[in-house]
Amino acid sequence: MTSFSSLAYSIAMIASFALVGGGLYLGLARKDWKRAGLMLLVAAVLIANVVIWTMPSPA
């Protein structure tokens, strides 16, 4: 794994945690469910991408 890919994984995970936090805040505190749902959806896509990227390739 190169240092660039490690950096990309780290940035993606930090962004997904920030999106989850922001989505929960918007949904629970401000009752803006549309934007909160979109933020949570984007966080789920980012996490899924990191999981796919880090899976070992078949031999």
To 10 degrees, the CA torsion angle through 15, 16, 22, 27? 160
Instruction: Yes or no: say if 37 and 10 are a contact pair by the CB < 8 Å rule.
Output: no
Q: Quickly state the pLDDT bin for 59 (edges 50, 70, 90).
A: confident
Site of tokens 């549309």: 34
Domain extents for the chain?
7-53
pLDDT digits (tens, 9 = 90+) for 8-23: 999 999 999 999 999 9
Question: What does pTM read for this prediction?
Answer: 0.87
Q: How confident is the model at residue 38 (pLDDT cuts 50, 70, 90)?
A: very high
Nearest to 26 by CA among 48, 42, 9: 42
Please tell me the distance from the alpha carbon of residue 23 to that of residue 7, in angstroms, as a whole number.
24
Question: Which residues neighbour 26 within 8 Å (Cβ) at sequence distance 6 or greater?
Answer: 32, 33, 35, 36, 39
pLDDT over 90 (residue 51):
yes
